[in-house]
Structure 1
Amino acid sequence: MTGTDFVPLAYSKKIANGKITWKSPSNIALVKYWGKKENQIPANPSISFTLDTCATTTTVSYQKLEEEGNEFSFDLRFEGKPKESFRPKILTFFQRVEKYLPFLKSYHFTIETSNSFPHSSGIASSASGMSALSLCLMSLEKELHPEMSGEYFNKKASFLARLGSGSACRSIEGDLMEWGLHSDTEGSSNEYAIKYPYPVHEVFKNYQDTILLVDKGQKQVSSTVGHDLMHDHPFAEKRFSQAHTNLTKLRSVFADGDLDGFIKIVESEALTLHAMMMTSLPYFILMKPNTLEIINKIWSFRERTNSHVCFTLDAGANVHVLYPEAEKEIVYQFIKNELVAYCENGQYICDAIGYGAKKM
């Protein structure tokens, strides 16, 4: 399916008002996407674990306007309070998706949103937030067009979420989501994410992710700026090729339960992401000294105990500690004993693989 498939022809019902709530999770990429083309199209494919605990709950109330205006009409509240700083992002999103949701100027929307994690924690909330909003709008469209299939609903929700925040398209479903055209993945698309279509060994089910909050401050370089710096990056093409190769390698890793192979790819991907930042112009470093301390502690612990704990990083200083459920007790003890000391105010979040968004 392409974007033109998501432009509705006509709606069969009329709806005056209502209220919809969705809870949508964040996700953590294993193969990273870094660099994008026009219209939020990724420069390379990516794959992610959908999370469970880290989520955004969004309620959209809607009231039909007596006359359709030229502007979008909406109020926005974050955790019970007006949030004007979110307004430009929602406005940009509405402008991008109006073609696919032609009812947007026919209603006044009240958008109420809250996160299960602290907003200032340094955890990216755009994936969970934009996917939750997209699902609410899709639920309204389904009321206007009840004949819509579940498969179409999910694909279009992912397509819309991508237009709000690239990685948000991977938060609609779970547990493993792939986004971006990849010759070795049947059904893959740049337009929306798909559920990973190949066998996955039991050891990767219910994988654990403990997120160590190393630095909760504002990043000095936004992800949007970072993505743009890949356009003239001297190593961009090699990096994009590496992502394709790693996705292909993961197919046997997932099928065979190859934890050592998983660790090599996931950690290499995290470090490559940050290497791209350090070698762009202008160059920048988002890791902090404590990020490196944690990485070295994980490597040392793994060598000492033959554990299968590993790390990955987003575009920030926080560390996602990944490990199989069978090692939960020993790894959690290690985190408490040796790693929490490197977190800001000792803060961390225990999470695990989730299975996508839920209508509340």
Structure 2
Amino acid sequence: MKAVTYTRGQALTALLARRILILDGAMGTMTQRFRLTEADFRGERFKDHPKDLKNNGDLLSLTRPDVIRDIHEGYLAAGADIIETNTFGANALAQEDYGLARLSHEMNVASARLARAAADKFSTPGKPRFVAGALGPTPRTASISPDVNDPGARNVDFEQLRAAYHEQVAGLVQGGVDLLLVETIFDTLNAKAALFAIDEYFEESGERLPLIVSGTVTDASGRILSGQTVTAFWYSVRHAQPLAIGLNCALGAALMRPYIQELARVAPDTFISCYPNAGLPNPMSETGFDETPEVTSRLLAEFAAEGLVNIVGGCCGTTPQHIGAIAAAVEPLAARSTRRAMFYKEAA
């Protein structure tokens, strides 16, 4: 067994002890604004591919890197401290739907390098920027049957998930990410496969990166899709010792408040992240969601004033305008205090 050491992202903990950090906003919302065609997604390389590729946003890192670069730089210019790689579905299981599972590693390396270059371009000694390697939940669930007539049926198992996540992590780290973000978790068993793969990779490589874990409460029941409460979800993943635990997607900030409060209460020694959708879907609005930048930023500022959060940003429907407004709203507010934060403050 190799000795495992932190080699990247070490400044994050000290920064989180001093202020609220800003995560970027939606990638899909922004790519839709480019009104890309099937030809854009295919590029020259995949012009004869037998399956439709439109809406395979992860592929754009290979076929339209200019689009992804522009989106990253828009969020950085708006004030994001952390940007996510364009890899939400860049795993072999998700890419099977497009007949591109073989490209998972390449997609992750390319996406990480695009984000790394953008972050380095905007970094200054006074405001370093970080790249989070995004690992989405995959379109398959290990806990829930895809067949209503057969509760025991499954379309994926733990080993398939572990292998897909391990390949993705290897690509992200090779591409230069500072931390890993297991996000939009609707099935804790899927997340545990990701966490297992991450720890396995760390042991093999001898390098450990900071980790953020973010679940998704799907409705007013206060549970993730596989049935766990926020408290149960935390106890299921806390063994991974994440830098931060949080919630994202599904709900707007107003509906997410009680669950962030619950998470902050049960995880007092861990930083809390929160990046909600821009409210509920609304096809009549410009972004397809209800909340304007002013609304989302006001709500997240209320979370900060209540002492609930350390990292804030946006998920579906949010734009650089949302992120800029959030950054301005929370800038004068103190980050949530934890014992970890107190240690770093005293050391400084």
State the TM-score, normalizing by the size of structure 1: 0.28
Which of the pair is proportionally richer in strand? Answer: 1
State the TM-score, normalizing by the size of structure 2: 0.28
Q: Which structure would you say has the larger Rg? A: 1
